[in-house]
Structure 1
Amino acid sequence: MDSLVRAPVAHPSRPRELEVEPLRRRLEETVDGEVRFDTGSRAAYARDASNYRQVPIGVVVPYTLDAGVAAVAACRSRDVPVLSRGGGTSLAGQCCNAAVVIDWSKYCGAVECVDAAARKVTVQAGAVLDAVDHELARYGLMVGPRPSSHPNCTIGGMIGNDSCGASAQAYGKMAESVLRLEILTYDGVRTWTGPTDDAEYARIQAGGGRPAEIYRQLRELRDDTMELVRIRFPKLERRVSGYNLDELLPENGFNVARALVGSEGTLATVLRAELSVVPKPAARAVAVLGFEDIFAAADAVPAVARHRPIALEAMDENMYRLARQEHPGDPALKDLPEGAGWLLVQFGGDTPDQARERAEELMRDVGEHATHTFLGDPAREDRLWRWRESGLGVEAYPPTGRQTYEGWSDAAVPPERLGEYLRDYDRLLRRHGYQDSALYGHFGQGCVHGRLPLDLHTDDGIARYRAFAQEAADLVASYGGSLSGEHGDGQALAELLPRMFGDEVVAAFGRLKAIFDPRNRMNPGKVVHPHRLDQDLAQRHFYPLEPKDKFFDYPQDHGRFGHAATRCVGIGKCRRHTFEGGVMCPSYRVTREEEHSTRGRARLLGEMVRGELITDGWRSKEVRDALDLCLACKGCRSECPVNVDMATYKAEFLAQHYRHRLRPREHYALGWLPRWAALASVAPRTVNALTHAPGLSLLVKALGGIAEERELPRFARERFTDWFKRRGTPRAGTRGKVVLWADTFTNNFDPHIGQAAVGVLEAAGFEVHVPPVPLCCGLTWISTGQLATARRVLARSVRALRPWAESGVPVVGLEPSCTAVFRADGPELLNTPDTRLVSERTLTLAELLESKAPDWRPDSSGGEAVAQVHCHQSAIMGYDADRAVLDRFGIRTEVLNAGCCGLAGNFGFERSHYDVSVACAEESVWPAVRSAGPDQAILADGFSCRTQIAAARTGRQARHLAELLAAALHDACK
């Protein structure tokens, strides 16, 4: 790496040369944690969720709070800037800087104490909000503020940003939840802060030293500015911009802790927080009000707010249209009342009836002013609420129109003036060519969200953005509003603060900064002495490098890999905990490592196509290492709010990285599995005997790079295709023909599943055909990045299936990962009319039964099952049809929301991945299998899932849906 980087010094900032190596050594010698100055780590932390990019000097991941204190001390010894980072989801640029980044989220996230009687909790700064609420749930409590990033935002980050969320309508901003903070200043003062009465002030002064100096200067600042603060600060619940000087006023108890809330890490480092928590509503109910437009909805906010809802949200027609385009069949969206602007009003209660009555009372009061709907279905209400929370992701890449960006996304005005403000704001958007932007947000407190179709690549576009931001700031100020009502100032808004507060208040902010951080080393360039809002933009003059010969088509990204590599907008939903369910990023859940999240990997790919920090392109070792633990589960393709498809990007990278180079041995051993299976079919018993002989088995595994702990799968004595040939002429059916595709895994390892599927399909009235020769989708070559071979293999299978597809015959896939290739990867890898036609004809067994035999009501023995859904099925096909078929058979099924099993095809067999694979299983499916009742069948359609479940050594064997249905039919006939 370069021995020199640029770093800012105290204001006025003059860059100076920084010797990195002595700093790195000092950190390694004194910090109990991970000290990283490598290119990959710096790339992963160069951006947050904003438009800004600043490459850090290095990254420190402390094991303990004391280690973090030591890291700050080491930086102080070298006079180096520091940035504390939590979830990294900041939208205004406050979480990226040319500094040493301290990531508290990996190890310093403990919930240290819960005092349920006093409704208090003490947590470390790196604690994730949802994890804290998970701990509090057993006491019936929760943290009041709940931003939409709740699955991954940290308490420290929420304090730094004075976070709000929809629940702030009832519980206020984060500042209202803070009782005390343990802080660390850059110069080494470590102390608890909170309300400071005269006795406490006297005690601090008696102690002397730097703490006494800080408090004395704070009181002087308060005395000098209190009248100015009382006059100039907006009387607004959602005032997030600026520093909380008002918390130092005598009437607010000279509360130093709350004065630090919202300071974005520019004043001090938060180590611990003592928070007040609130009872979790026992029941909730949502009323949805429809209006002729979003302006009329805003006009109604004061009347609705008088009913004291716990949340009062809004979305306009553009937001609704984008949501419907993404998920057209979602019943939560279908049930909205007529209109072009909606208020989503949530009420809490001790009972469902109480919450419902409050919602109904609101609807009676609204009367003729709006159409209204009471959902009444908790599951549907939750889905609708999640749509509102996912606004940023839904809006980022509209199906039609320009990509949108942050930059002006959360201004707040007094709610009683919201309708008037929005009409003026709409005119401003149209004047600058930003019309048709979605408007949504926390209307109950006058906070408006919305990304804009900015041009941040060209000088003219950036100049237009700058002019718009200045006019928008003046507009908000004229309404007595706040430039930020939730996301903070960071770099996007800090330059504009004089337009809101005036120069005297901004000068007072500078005095507060100087009291805590006189050398300007805490997150410099944000809030005070800020960089310009059009400085450090990641997009400026950036057009991603594009490979000449790529393999996939990237239809969602204009056919460009470079665009796909930069698709991530930094929301961080991929950084969830296991208890939250979902599929995305199983390796991150095990390692808690930023580079193992979808976002982290996307950041490295983005830096690769930028070509500045990562300069060796497809040959990059840093990108290869970050992608190495990607299980290619495809969970991000469906669960990421902007549909990043890391499995595809990984396959493309591996193809390019190893082009004309020798590959790892496991790529040949496991990537070419269909070929080895074809050879083994000549003498499967002999092959099984050789590969399972005690000494020879270890040799085979060593040669193939396979973990010693894995048992090699056994080849079937007779392949499914051979069995089907022996049956003779297909049996005629009343529902027409179907092609049962014998994938590599079903054909060579589990032919009994194919046999069971034939029985089910024939019982349902179908005439079953099986291609006479084995057909492979190319999955194993795709997952190992051998895409040229995958293309040839896929093309051969498409040619074989084309006659049936042209005749309208459905193609039924039994292995979810292989079926997903035909449905998704295939048309993107081999973009031909025939491939697209086969993709359209390909169905799962359950989809076929639901769509082609909906009236079939079989006699079934019923039963119970626990289902582990294959990741690729979850991401591509979904599981709704399977649920419906299981219900039709009377099989009561618990569908696990436990995430990836951890095997993921070749991944879990590889020696270097075994530990992560097993850890994934222990995080998810293995505990569920162990706790399953003896009468519950274990259902898993995926070969990988069944193999991993068997590896748990519980004695339980997972079964395919075809097996379960066939058994139910057989038992019913007895």
Structure 2
Amino acid sequence: MARVNDLENALRRVVRGSVRFDQASRLLYSTDASMYQVEPIGVVIPRHADDVRAAVQVAREQQVALLPRGGGTSLTGQTVNRALVVDFTQHMNRVLKVNAEEQWARVQPGLVQDELNHHVRPMGLLFGPDTSTSNRATLGGMLGNNSGGSHSLAYGLTVDHVIEIRALLVDGSEVVFGELTAAELQAKTRGAGLEGQVYREVAAIRETYADEIRARYPKHWRRVAGYNLNELLGVGVRPHSYAGGGNGSPRPLSMARLVVGSEGTLLTILEAKVRLVKRPPATAVNVIHYHDMQEALESSQAILETGPYAVEVTDKLILDLARDNIEQSRRMGWIQGDPAAIMIVEYTGENEAETRSKIQVLEGRRARDGFGYAAHVAYDAGEQRTIWNLRKAGLGLLLGMKGDKKPIAFVEDTCVEPRHLAQFVPRFKEIFAKHDTVGAYYGHCSVGCLHIRPVIDLKVPRGMEQVRAIADEITALVVEFGGTISSEHGDGRARSPFIERMYGPKLMEGFRRLKRAFDPDNRMNPGNIVDSPGILENLRYGVEYKTWEPVTMLDFSNEGGFAAAVEMCNGVGQCRKSLEGTMCPSYMATRDEEHSTRGRANALRAVLSGRMAPREFTGERLHEVM
């Protein structure tokens, strides 16, 4: 591999955007919203597609690993690596074209989800998948993770909404991936270069592993673990998917759908054509309050029978954190009493009368079956936004917990068929209790995906033991229930080591063949999905992590000291939102990571933890960031 200064000089000669190799810049990109930290080789912030082409070409010539990156909101570490990071968010963040009649948009990978929806809202349209990080998550990241969200019951996953992808293969050649007929696939296999090789190997993988794909892929469609080899056969997809299939017949082969969820390990996306859907004319929300989480889970099947648009559960731990949060506490007047859990149930209709009718059906069912001690109904759009904002704030509230014990993401994305939740979750709790920890529970009851996080201190040996044991036992539990270890957050560093236990050695061999076909030299975000390091490697915090405490004018004792206050930045990137609030006006103006609150916290933590010399605490570079 080339020396770093040779790589930097080569990039500066051909890239018009920013090329950053100083230590502070590298450390700003060494974390995401996960428990991992890996310092990249350098960072490129391209101004346009030609910059991306140039960066990929230089990386090929100098045999350097590549990591395409969006908002850096990943929860399992797939956006940190010892690689050349390509950050699309500052410049390549536009809506290129919208066809309202045919309901599609052509977008750049750095476009934020909420900004796409803001753009198409006047047309009565929206992009269906809606992550809780929608105000900073990018379309490129959603394609990389195969994201879902609260309304996946209605819209499915991102894979159901990708029509076409224009991308660069690792050798710099440009491809356009979309649906193919059998004849078109056969013609593509006769092509030259890396693209032809990819098509030939894809055809061979489909033939070799067809029986294993049908036998080993979970029957429930809410699954993103591994690569989408099921798309080679068009099976194992969401019923009544917008992309077709799922109704007893397979859908056509799409190379675009095949590479969705590949976490930057196969190619670099330049732009994508994505499907849009009609925005519901009217919505209504019923928030059911429960004395017990188990009661909430057991009622979810009855709720699903009423035809909801979304069914979301939030537990007492998150509600208590919200009460202690200045922003959220002012907006919780609709909470009645002190519930152990709430269920947000949403309906759509052509008008308010239709949504009122659906709410009445739910209330009738609730009265008949006797679940929930109270309910709050919201028809007003503003009040509904307030309720949904609390649900979306759950992740940030959890990760902002004070102290060294944090709700850690590594088993937080499991999914089973919804009818199994009431049996699955108590078993989950038993594993936590066995290893002397508790968990936070929230997520999508509608599709069987709960984001369950154990509260663990990674700075002590016991915390390491808990992670290793819990990951092992939860994987076994998921396999027992025929579920998936990853259902929308991706595999990354946290779950890639366990993929083979879910799919078996033969399909794992198929995953490796697909990876080699696209990336023969293993340079695209290596170590994710296949050939991954152990779950405890490259942790942000660990038993060796130590900080020094500067003397400050202000009192940070309530936070546990200045270093602890800095560590309360959880990496979820809430400060990168641009359409609402004023949390980080400097980032809104520049869209530069180092001008975000997260960037500043990362820079401070780098100095306090010794990754940068203590003298840098009063140095010019930290002053620039701050």
What TM-score comes out, normalization by structure 1 length?
Answer: 0.61
Higher gyration radius (CA): 1
- Worse-superposed segment, 257-266 or 31-40: 31-40
Q: 1:80 to 1:432 in 2, by over 3 A?
A: same
2:598 is matched with: 599
Separation of aligned partners in 2, 1:168 and 1:332: 26
Shifted more, 495-504 versus 402-411: the winner is 402-411
* 1:235 and 2:238 are equivalent in the alignment: no
Q: How far is 1:350 from its partner? A: 2.1
Aligned position for 2:454 = 452
Structure 2 Cα separation of the partners of residues 605 and 385 of structure 1: 33
Q: CA deviation at 1:45?
A: 0.4
Counterpart-to-counterpart distance in 2, 1:406 and 1:192: 34
TM-score, with length taken from structure 2: 0.93
CA deviation profile, 1:6-35 (whole Å, cap 9, x unmatched): xxxxxxxxxxx6511111111111222111
Report if the CA contact (8 A) 2:11-2:58 is conserved: yes
Aligned to 1:571: 572
* Number of the residue aligned with 1:184: 168
> 1:39, 1:622 within 8 Å by CA — same for their partners in 2?
no
**3-state SS of 1:472 partner:** helix
1:373: Cα distance to partner? 3.0
Aligned pair 1:198/2:182, yes or no? Answer: yes
Amino acid at match of 2:619: S
Letter of the structure 2 residue corresponding to residue 289 of structure 1:
I
Aligned to 1:586: 585
* Other-structure match for 1:546: 548
Q: Counterpart in 2 of 1:362?
A: 362
Q: Could you tell me which residue of structure 2 aligns to residue 144 of structure 1?
A: 128
The verdict on how the C-alpha distance between 1:339 and 1:566 changes in structure 2, with shifts beyond 3 A counting, is closer
The answer to whether the 8 Å contact 1:312/1:443 transfers is: yes
Which segments of 5 or more consecutive residues in structure 2 lack a partner in the other structure?
235-249
In structure 1, C-alpha distance between the alignment counterparts of 2:411 and 2:571, rounded to whole Å: 17
Conserved 8 A contact 2:406-2:455:
yes
Distance (Å, rounded) in 2 between the aligned partners of 1:615 and 1:292: 50
**Counterpart among 383, 386, 401 of residue 386 in structure 2:** 383
- Shift of residue 333 of structure 1? 4.9
Matches within 5 A, 1:213-362: 213-249=197-233, 251-326=250-325, 330=330, 332-336=332-336, 339-362=339-362
Alignment partner, residue 402 of structure 1: 405
1:470 aligns with one of 472, 493, 496: 472
Contact kept, 8 Å, 2:403 with 2:564, in 1: the verdict is no
Q: Deviations over 1:103-159 (max 9, x none)?
A: 011111111110111101110111111111111112110100010111111100000
Cα distance in 1 for partners of 2:31, 2:319 equals: 29
Residues 324 and 333 in structure 1, CA contact (< 8 A), matched pair in contact too: no
1:110 equivalenced with 2:112 (yes/no): no
3-state DSSP class of the match of 1:90? Answer: coil
| Aligned partner of residue 492 in structure 1, secondary structure | helix
1:52 partnered with 2:36? yes
Asked whether the 8 Å contact 2:178–2:256 carries over to 1, the reply is yes
Change (3 A) 1:286 1:555: farther
Q: Specify the SS of the correspondent of 2:405.
A: coil
Does residue 428 (structure 1) correspond to residue 431 (structure 2)? The answer is yes
CA separation of 1:43 and 1:209: change in aligned 2, threshold 3 A: closer
How far did 1:449 drift?
1.1
Match of 2:485 in 1: 483
Give the AA of the match of 1:363: E
Q: How does 1:29-178 map to 2 (within 5 A)?
A: 29-178=13-162
Query: Partners of 2:405 and 2:189 in 1: how far apart?
Result: 58
User: In structure 1, the residue corresponding to 2:9 is in which secondary structure?
Assistant: helix
CA displacement at 1:337 relative to structure 2: 7.2
**2: CA distance, partners of 1:554 / 1:619:** 19
SS at match of 2:347: strand
Tell me, in whole angstroms, the C-alpha distance in 1 between the residues paired with 2:460 and 2:198: 45
C-alpha displacement at 1:544, in angstroms? 4.2
Deviations 1:716-752 (A, max 9, x none): xxxxxxxxxxxxxxxxxxxxxxxxxxxxxxxxxxxxx
Cα distance, 1:331 vs. partner? 5.2
Contact 2:130 2:151 in 1 (8 A): yes
Q: Is the 8 A contact 1:175 1:261 kept in 2?
A: yes
Distance 1:53 1:543 in 2: 12
Aligned to 1:829: none
How far apart in 1 are the matches of 2:107 and 2:366? 42
- Which structure carries more helix by proportion? 1
- Cα distance between partner residues in 1 of 2:540 and 2:338: 41
Change in Cα spacing, 1:339 to 1:460, as seen in structure 2 (3 Å) is closer
SS at 1:354 equivalent:
helix
**1:503 shift after superposition:** 1.6
Q: Which residue in the other structure is 2:242 paired with? A: none
Return the offset for 1:288: 1.7
TM-superposition CA deviations, 1:870-928 (whole Å, max 9, x none):
xxxxxxxxxxxxxxxxxxxxxxxxxxxxxxxxxxxxxxxxxxxxxxxxxxxxxxxxxxx
Which residue pairs with 1:668 in the alignment?
A: none
**More moved, 308-317 vs 616-625:** 616-625
Separation (CA, whole Å) in 2 of partners of 1:285 and 1:624: 48
Alignment of 1:806-817 (within 5 A): none
The amino acid that maps onto 1:64 is H
Larger relative contact order, structure 1 or 2 (CA cutoff 8 Å, min sep 6): 2
- Name the SS for the 2:493 alignment partner: coil
| Cα distance, 1:544–1:214 mapped onto 2, change above 3 Å | same
Change (3 A) 1:22 1:339: closer
For the 8 Å contact 2:405–2:458, the answer to whether it is kept is: no
* 1:829-856 deviations in Å (ceiling 9; x for gaps): xxxxxxxxxxxxxxxxxxxxxxxxxxxx
Deviations 1:52-96 (A, max 9, x none): 000010000010012111101101100000000000000000000
Does the Cα contact within 8 Å between 2:410 and 2:453 map onto a contact in 1?
Answer: yes
CA distance in 1, matches of 2:198, 2:612: 40
Shift of 1:375: 2.8
Distance 1:433 1:622 in 2: 43
- Secondary structure of 1:403's match? strand
Q: Quote the Cα distance in structure 2 between the aligned partners of 1:137 and 1:379.
A: 16
Look up the match of 2:245. Answer: none
2 CA distance for matches of 1:308 and 1:41?
A: 49
**1:743 match:** none
**1 CA distance for matches of 2:221 and 2:590?**
39
| 1:145 aligned counterpart, secondary structure | coil
Tell me what 1:440 maps to.
442
User: Matched residues in 2 for 1:325 and 1:473: separation?
Assistant: 34
Note the alpha carbon deviations across 1:433-452, whole angstroms, 9 max, x for none. 112x2211011111111332
CA distance in 2, matches of 1:556, 1:351: 49
What is the deviation of 1:356?
A: 2.4
Partner of 2:563: 562
Secondary structure, aligned partner of 1:430:
helix
Provide Cα deviations, 1:522-545, integer angstroms capped at 9, x if missing partner: 001111101111000010134442
List alignment gaps of at least 5 residues for structure 1: 1-16, 628-974
For residues 587 and 313 of structure 2, the distance between their equivalents in structure 1, rounded to whole angstroms, comes to: 33
By how many angstroms is 1:548 displaced?
4.9
Aligned-residue offset at 1:39: 1.4
Residue pair 2:287, 2:343 contacting (<8 A) in 1 also: yes
Question: Percent identity among equivalent residues?
Answer: 34
Matched residue, 1:877: none
More off after superposition, 616-625 vs 162-171:
616-625
**For 2:545 and 2:567, how far apart are their aligned partners in 1?**
10
Against the structure 1 CA distance between its residues 455 and 401, is the aligned structure 2 distance closer, same or farther, given a 3 Å change threshold?
A: closer
Contact 1:337 1:373 in 2 (8 A): no
